[in-house]
Structure 1
Amino acid sequence: MEVAQSHKAGWKINQDEEEIDADDTEDEADESVIKSRWDSLPDLLLEQIFSYLTISERYYCSLVCSQWYRVFYLKNVWRNFSVVDDTLCRQKFNFYSGWQPVLDCLRAQTCLTRIGRYIKGISILPTYNFNNISQFMTLLTFNIQQSRRGSDPTYFEVGQRITNFKYLFPCNMASDQQDLKIYGTGGQLLKTLKALLFELKKLKSLKLIDLMLERYEAKHLLDEVLESCNMVLQHLVLINVTSTHCPIMHVGLFFNLKVLIISPQNLDDDCLQLLSSTSLQHLHIYQNSYSPSSPTACSVKAWKSFRQENPKAKVHLRIERLSLAAGTFDLTLQPFAPVYSVTFKSPKEQITAEKLITIVDMYKYTLSTFGHEMLPTFDSPKAFDERIDSLLILMARQCPNLTSLTIRESVSTSTLLLLAKTAINLNVLNVRKKCVIVKMDWPRNNDWSEEFFQWLQISSRSYESTEKEISQILCCRWTMLSDESFENLEINLPYFVL
């Protein structure tokens, strides 16, 4: 019976139960089917496609044909190397936790020696298996050291082209999204990370996010980085290095630093004094759900000195609070700072009259971008006296450099027309159509001519007429955004990449 089955494995049976050669039927079918030529795509397209795949997916694709096998080893495919829980791992059974991914050191070593010379960026994304991450960083450090010695051709230029490094620590390990259970890194994992950073001599971009270190560890976090690439580093991201106030003085010692994204609890007057002597162009002061609820702002005296020493530097304030956990969080305003943008990304953050007036009063000569991202979880008031229409017009009048405005609260069509007319440099206006009230609810102003007042009344009678008039004012096609489009909206901030 087994012999008959093996004999029929290469044959197909037709309706008359006659054996037919499988190759003949495939040839006949191929004549009527148009084959796709994925193997003939240009290398640039295949590189782009492969770059979106995981390591295992790239490997399986390389087994398809000789062309894809060749693309597997092209440089741009391995430009960015992302490490997650199961990267280069094998499954191992644990009596307490069941099957768990464990780093396969042989596979990881083979991978690094073959494609390590092409890697330009490494991203260690949130992973909960800290032992695997520690072993991977130790292995990468060893390969870079062997490559620098040059004694063994197996390690030829491994890690020598790495210019970008990102480490995102999963500090919130709560099972319930409504809770916050904050943990910090440190110990052996921090020691391994610092050893790896010391070997990256060409590092231009470094991102360390949510490490939540103790103060004594945070003060020496960048010792190795400062020693290895203090003249090379240009983009530095330090978010929640600590959970309490702890200035990181090293940020002012990278003389070619162009962009710094830092949490307010890790910045103080002394840091500003050091930063004023660097080539810093953009300083993003960033807060998220894990930041302290009310960090201390830098003093007016420090900001005045900073503006005098580095007049070209621009400051950007941003808060992101994506979770709905209970707690009081507010944007920390920096008095007398050269703030060019104030942005919010939070479903619960509601603008108030007091907050908006304070922002306008502090930054009216520099503010160019203001707005909220994400759909709100609250209902905006409908009455004119309770809405923010008059405050937005105040901002448009007091801030002559305002170029980008994003509104998610309820406003009227007449307010949008007045905004477009009042803000002389406005070129980006994002508005939720669902929250726009078709109404002329502004009282007659003595400064308005009769012609202007009639234009405002007529143009605010419908969505279509409002969009048409604002398009003419902004000299581009302008439309209100649907909720789906607004939810995917991202305010354009210079060099803000996490």
Structure 2
Amino acid sequence: MHKLQVGIMPGRRRNAHVRIIGLLAHIATGKMTLNGENQPGWEDLPEIIFEEIYSYLTPKQRHLASQVCSTWYAAFYSPRVWETFILEKKSLTRRRFNFFKGIQRELCPRKTQMCLYQVGRYFKKMKIVPTIDYFNVYEFLRILQAFLSFYEDYPMPLLKTFHFTFACESFDISGRQIHGTGGKMLEGLKSLMEALNGVKYFTVNQLMLANDDLDGVLESVSKQCSQSIIRLEILDFSSSPYPLTAIVNCFENLQTLVLGPHNVDDEVVLLLAGTVLNELQLVQDRYTCDALPVSADAWRLAREMAPHLKVSLEIRGRTKDELLLQPHAPVYKIVLATPTYRITDLLMTSVIYNYQSTLEIFAQKVFVRGSRSFHDRCDTSVLSLVRHCPKLHTLIVSERMSTMTVILLAEEGNLENLYVRRYALIKKADWPRCSNWTMEFYRGVKYSAWSYGRTRERIEKIYDKRWSFLRDKQFSAL
């Protein structure tokens, strides 16, 4: 008889999930019994506990766990377990021997059909992650489109989120290759998008289409979902600059639009200003091609036409390009999510000049290596941003700063949320005295800056709430 104890300590949730998965594998394979023989145990747990456990398992592990007993089998078909479906490299595949490539994994039509028929009605979110097995992805799109079109009543009424990302990057003996979607893959994707119904959050990324293939793609999305879609994300939609003017006529209730800056021009901005769109997110990554910003006159006119329209700028991934600033746009949020892009005086000067009256959030979410020298750090730039942007209420900085700078950020700005890394802080009071600082204030700030504890206590007193530096794991979770 085996005694089993599974302890879940606070802050160690990931390790707990691993132990639970291992537990279920032992039970499903008959290598362990719980609480002795013929004694009530895990089969008598509440249904909500089973659903929580199953939600952390892969489909294969769920299948193994469902063979333990009738109770576990019933929990396998719980709607909550199958709310999210993720198609990965080995999902719904089988092994097959190829004389030239050896053993390969190909999509199994029988498994796919059974999965969609048995639990497809429970799907609320479907995500197809990038994979270089294009044939498997194409086969899944084809089978899913046939499944949705076969029944008179729509078989996936709960599906509200669809996320598809094409693997546009590959590596071979010649190096890195970038290629777009086209041919049968694009035809299969368009047929599937025409069959989807009632989707609210639609994402299609990294298609990298040529200009000849762009016609009809957005129309395919809007055929059944023109009124239901409220958030549309189409990053790297084209491989060259191409204004997407068709968006305005395709989606009536669109509230959030995410796309690259090379798909926007003056005409697109003015057309969007005449709709109910609330937020326009312009995102750059390593696949974004060079583009020109929208003119300042177009943004001024758009602000007059749609005072409620907000714009956010973001740069992500390992790219060496600079953030493309939109002159005098109603930008309320700027996000730097790349390890190669540091905060500089030039960047902050441009941000203050263009978005002084609108900026509310500035976030640097990725760890960036920098110098320890005061003149090479971002202390003066960040403090200047806080001083000149009165609406700025959230600031996230991952670069090195001194404890005195953190105190000044809390003292002189209107910040409500300040997030800094504990291991990026330098315990120093390296600021010279400014003319508008009293000697008492300057000495107090310097005294607090020479201790992490006193720095935290002073900031807590300013904000009148608990505040602390973030460890790297906590910072990454923001």
* TM-score where L is the length of structure 1: 0.84
Residue matched to 1:105: 109
Give a deviation string over 1:103-136, Cα, whole Å, max 9, x none: 2212222222222222222211112222222122
**How far 1:381 moved relative to its partner?**
4.0
Cα distance change of structure 1 residues 419 and 129 upon mapping to structure 2, 3 Å threshold? same
> One-letter code of the match for 1:58?
R
d(CA) in 2 for partners of 1:85, 1:457: 55
The answer to whether residue 376 in structure 2 is matched with residue 386 in structure 1 is yes
Cα distance change of structure 1 residues 314 and 189 upon mapping to structure 2, 3 Å threshold? same
Quick one: which of 441, 465, 473 aligns to 1:476? 465
d(CA) in 2 for partners of 1:56, 1:274: 48
- Give the number of aligned pairs: 445
Residue matched to 1:398: 388
d(CA) in 2 for partners of 1:317, 1:40: 51
Residue matched to 1:366: 358
Residue matched to 2:22: none
Give a deviation string over 1:209-260, Cα, whole Å, max 9, x none: 1111111212321111122221111010010011210122232231211111
Contact in 1 for aligned 2:227/2:253 (Cα 8 Å): yes
Please show how residues 42-53 of structure 1 align to structure 2 within 5 Å: 42-53=46-57
Residue matched to 1:10: none
> One-letter code of the match for 2:180?
G
> What secondary structure sits across from 1:181 in the alignment?
strand
**How far 1:141 moved relative to its partner?**
1.4
Give a deviation string over 1:316-349, Cα, whole Å, max 9, x none: 1111124xxxx74111101111111111111121
d(CA) in 2 for partners of 1:110, 1:441: 66
Unaligned ranges ≥5, structure 1: 1-28, 151-156, 491-498
**How far 1:394 moved relative to its partner?**
1.4
CA-based RMSD of the aligned residues comes to: 2.3
Contact in 2 for aligned 1:226/1:250 (Cα 8 Å): no
The answer to whether residue 130 in structure 2 is matched with residue 126 in structure 1 is yes
d(CA) in 2 for partners of 1:100, 1:301: 56
**How far 1:473 moved relative to its partner?**
0.8
d(CA) in 1 for partners of 2:215, 2:244: 6
> One-letter code of the match for 1:306?
A
Contact in 2 for aligned 1:374/1:489 (Cα 8 Å): no
**How far 1:165 moved relative to its partner?**
0.9
d(CA) in 2 for partners of 1:86, 1:58: 15
Quick one: which of 280, 290, 302 aligns to 2:287? 290
**How far 1:271 moved relative to its partner?**
1.6
Residue matched to 1:266: 263
Between 93-102 and 215-224, report the one with greater CA deviation.
Answer: 215-224
Residue matched to 2:275: 278
d(CA) in 2 for partners of 1:471, 1:132: 54
Quick one: which of 347, 359, 362 aligns to 2:339? 347
d(CA) in 1 for partners of 2:346, 2:420: 22
**How far 1:55 moved relative to its partner?**
2.0
> One-letter code of the match for 1:388?
C
Contact in 1 for aligned 2:404/2:445 (Cα 8 Å): yes
Quick one: which of 236, 239, 251 aligns to 1:240? 236
Give a deviation string over 1:167-219, Cα, whole Å, max 9, x none: 1111111269x964211111111111111111112111110111111112123
> One-letter code of the match for 2:445?
L
Unaligned ranges ≥5, structure 2: 1-32
Residue matched to 1:184: 180
Residue matched to 1:408: 398
d(CA) in 1 for partners of 2:321, 2:462: 38
Residue matched to 1:39: 43
Cα distance change of structure 1 residues 416 and 98 upon mapping to structure 2, 3 Å threshold? same
Contact in 2 for aligned 1:248/1:271 (Cα 8 Å): yes
Contact in 2 for aligned 1:317/1:339 (Cα 8 Å): yes
Provide runs of 4+ in structure 1 moved above 4 Å: 29-36
**How far 1:35 moved relative to its partner?**
7.0
**How far 1:408 moved relative to its partner?**
2.4
d(CA) in 2 for partners of 1:90, 1:228: 33
Cα distance change of structure 1 residues 211 and 95 upon mapping to structure 2, 3 Å threshold? same
> What secondary structure sits across from 1:173 in the alignment?
strand
> What secondary structure sits across from 1:198 in the alignment?
helix
Cα distance change of structure 1 residues 485 and 121 upon mapping to structure 2, 3 Å threshold? closer
Please show how residues 67-466 of structure 1 align to structure 2 within 5 Å: 67-148=71-152, 157-174=154-171, 180-253=176-249, 254-292=251-289, 294-322=290-318, 328-376=320-368, 378-382=369-373, 384-424=374-414, 426-466=415-455
d(CA) in 2 for partners of 1:443, 1:161: 60
d(CA) in 1 for partners of 2:112, 2:422: 51
Cα distance change of structure 1 residues 33 and 349 upon mapping to structure 2, 3 Å threshold? farther
> One-letter code of the match for 2:381?
L
d(CA) in 1 for partners of 2:102, 2:163: 30
> What secondary structure sits across from 1:481 in the alignment?
coil
**How far 1:38 moved relative to its partner?**
2.8
Cα distance change of structure 1 residues 364 and 38 upon mapping to structure 2, 3 Å threshold? farther
> One-letter code of the match for 2:118?
R
* TM-score where L is the length of structure 2: 0.88
d(CA) in 2 for partners of 1:265, 1:257: 20
Give a deviation string over 1:66-111, Cα, whole Å, max 9, x none: 1111111121222222112222221111111111112221222222
Give a deviation string over 1:345-400, Cα, whole Å, max 9, x none: 11121121111110111111111111312222x33241x33333222221111101
Residue matched to 1:22: none
Cα distance change of structure 1 residues 126 and 304 upon mapping to structure 2, 3 Å threshold? same
d(CA) in 2 for partners of 1:471, 1:241: 46
Contact in 1 for aligned 2:205/2:234 (Cα 8 Å): yes
Cα distance change of structure 1 residues 70 and 297 upon mapping to structure 2, 3 Å threshold? same
Cα distance change of structure 1 residues 67 and 407 upon mapping to structure 2, 3 Å threshold? same
Residue matched to 1:63: 67
Give a deviation string over 1:19-51, Cα, whole Å, max 9, x none: xxxxxxxxxx98879978333333233223323
Cα distance change of structure 1 residues 413 and 72 upon mapping to structure 2, 3 Å threshold? same
**How far 1:53 moved relative to its partner?**
2.3
d(CA) in 2 for partners of 1:102, 1:88: 8
> One-letter code of the match for 1:380?
S
Give a deviation string over 1:455-486, Cα, whole Å, max 9, x none: 22222221111111011112222222334443
> One-letter code of the match for 1:39?
E
d(CA) in 2 for partners of 1:361, 1:180: 39
> One-letter code of the match for 1:356?
M
d(CA) in 1 for partners of 2:401, 2:345: 14
